[in-house]
Amino acid sequence: MTSLSIARSLRTTPEGLLWEPSERWVRGRKGDVTVVDSHHPVLVWEPGVPVPLYAFPRAEVRTDLLRPAKNPPAGAHTGSTLFYDLAVDGALLENAAWTFPSADLADLIAFEWVQRTGRGLDHWYEEEEEIFVHPRDPYKRVDALPSSRHVVVEIGGRVVADTRSPVLLFETGLPTRYYVPREDVRLDLFRRTDHQTRCPYKGIAGYWSWDSEHGEADVPPDVVWSYPEPLPAVAAIRGLLAFYNEAVDITVDGERLERPVTHFTASLS
């Protein structure tokens, strides 16, 4: 995020919130019930939170489904004190929505996302495309570029992938990820797991763990992943396999890369 882009479009509140209007058509559902249908969403960044969320004008929210929260959380969402429970399909979902304690945003309502916090609305759409976990940040780039670099991946000194036709995925704020064609990975050394993750930029990923039948290795579970049906913007990684740089040894064109430290590192140790 550059100072120029902030000056040009982002606005700030005394509480430290950053926000800007979005021109995307956004809908949020709980099951089959559309709770939000907005042509005037607002992107909001909370202090210390690296990803944005959406807030919506009341007129574009099913406020008839909202009830004043019975047990509002203390200190959540930049000190907001006005929370709502959501009554839908005979169930009451506590603290599913809230307003911000800022005059600039007071007439907007924000919602929790199930895939991010475990509660709230479970399906979200920008235009006709389903999105996951959180809104996509307009100041973040994700580029998937086919390459001819020579990429070698090792675990415990054993080569598990060797390719000269990777796809390099450059994502703002993260190390480069090296996606390897399946035929260039020793997938027989791994076993498929039930683990899945969702990414607002890439889609739904499936995972593999090291198979201990092939010898013990100091490697965390779910160290390999793939997007079988990635979102259109990163279609080049379809079906390819990537490894956590934080947990394996990767050599690119003869140069051994240092293992990066990211917000994934703690969960991989």
Q: What is the pLDDT of residue 203?
A: 93
Query: Is there a shared CATH topology between the 3-131 domain and the 142-268 domain?
Result: yes
* Domain coordinates in residue numbering, the chain: 3-131, 142-268
229 DSSP assignment:
S
SS3 267: helix
- Provide the residue type at 5 as one letter: S
CB 117 within 8 A of CB 49: no
Cα 215–191–217 angle (5° rounding)? 30
Q: What is the pLDDT of residue 24?
A: 96
The mean pLDDT of 185-191, rounded to a whole number, is 97
The mean pLDDT of 87-109, rounded to a whole number, is 94
Q: What is the pTM of this model?
A: 0.84
DSSP per-residue string spanning 12-81: E-TTS-EEEE--S-EEEEETTEEEEEESS-EEEE-TT-SS-EEEEEGGGB-GGGEEE-SSPPSS-TTT--
* Domain 3-131: assigned CATH number: 2.170.150.40
Parallel, antiparallel or unpaired: strands 83-88 and 91-98: antiparallel
SS3 203: strand
Q: Please give the CATH topology (third level) of the domain spanning 142-268.
A: 2.170.150
Mean pLDDT of the chain: 93
